[in-house]
Amino acid sequence: MIPGKNFPRYAYLPGRHPHPVRDPRGHSYLAQEPPMSVPIEAALSSESYRWGVDLFNHGYYWEAHEAWEPLWLAAKQSTPHLLFFKGLILLAAAGVKIREGKPTPARRHAGRAASLFRRVTGLQDREFRGAIGMSLPVLADLAETAVGWTRVAGAATGSLPKPVFGFRLVPDEGRT
């Protein structure tokens, strides 16, 4: 975990918890995030990326998406990074849908994520492998099968996060 960062008090699920940033009861309401400007070469070792990985691995899927979105928006000059971050965001969205007990949208998001990871395969493989701890084809396969081996019904009980994927993103030691 990143020093000085604490996990939110709940893992947001639409309709079950206060919206994190729009609702005054939200865990990130009025939180001041510094404007982020990360050169694309540094994106995969940035604090935002690593924070997103921590959130994802601990079941905070909506929050991981929020951590990665600025990196995706900043990746316009690098198609591989743009596709990679969009894939991670869709995979996080699949996690939200699994926790909501919605298998059809979860499969759709996971399938789209897998497709994006496959499009990036062969482009900067070593860099992306180091950022997630596995090859992109392996992550694509895991994304596609994730909804099948998770118990979608009843996946979200309470507000504590519940990781729903049978894998973790594990950046190389030099990236953390």
Which stretch of 87-91, 105-109, 119-123, 151-155 has the lowest confidence by average pLDDT?
151-155
Q: At what angle do helices 136-146 and 103-120 cross, to 10 degrees?
A: 170
What's the DSSP call for residue 158? S
Most confidently modeled range among 56-65, 75-84, 142-151: 56-65
> Of residues 167 and 30, which shows the higher confidence score?
167
Q: Dmax over Cα atoms in the chain, in whole Å?
A: 45
* pLDDT at residue 80, as a whole number: 93
Q: What pTM does this model have?
A: 0.87
**Domain spans in the chain, listed from the N-terminal domain onward:** 40-175
Helical (H) or strand (E) element with 140 = helix 136-146
Under DSSP, is residue 125 helix (H, G, I), strand (E, B) or coil?
helix
Residue 176 in this model has a pLDDT that exceeds 50: no
**Per-residue pLDDT tens for 56-66?**
999 999 999 99
Instruction: List CB contacts of 159: < 8 A, sequence separation 6 or more.
Output: 9, 10, 11, 16, 17
The amino acid sitting at 17 is: H
What's the DSSP call for residue 86? H
Residue 101 in this model has a pLDDT that exceeds 60: yes
When pLDDT is averaged across residues 110-130 and rounded to a whole number, the result is 91
End-to-end CA distance of the chain: 9
The amino acid sitting at 16 is: R
For the chain, give the percent of residues with pLDDT over 70: 85
Q: At what angle do helices 47-57 and 79-100 cross, to 10 degrees?
A: 30
Instruction: List CB contacts of 6: < 8 A, sequence separation 6 or more.
Output: none
- CATH T-level assignment (fold) for domain 40-175: Hyaluronidase domain-like (1.10.3450)
On the 0-12 / 13-18 / 19+ scale of CB atoms within 10 A, 157 is exposed
Identify the CA nearest to 148 among candidates 96, 111, 93, 100: 111
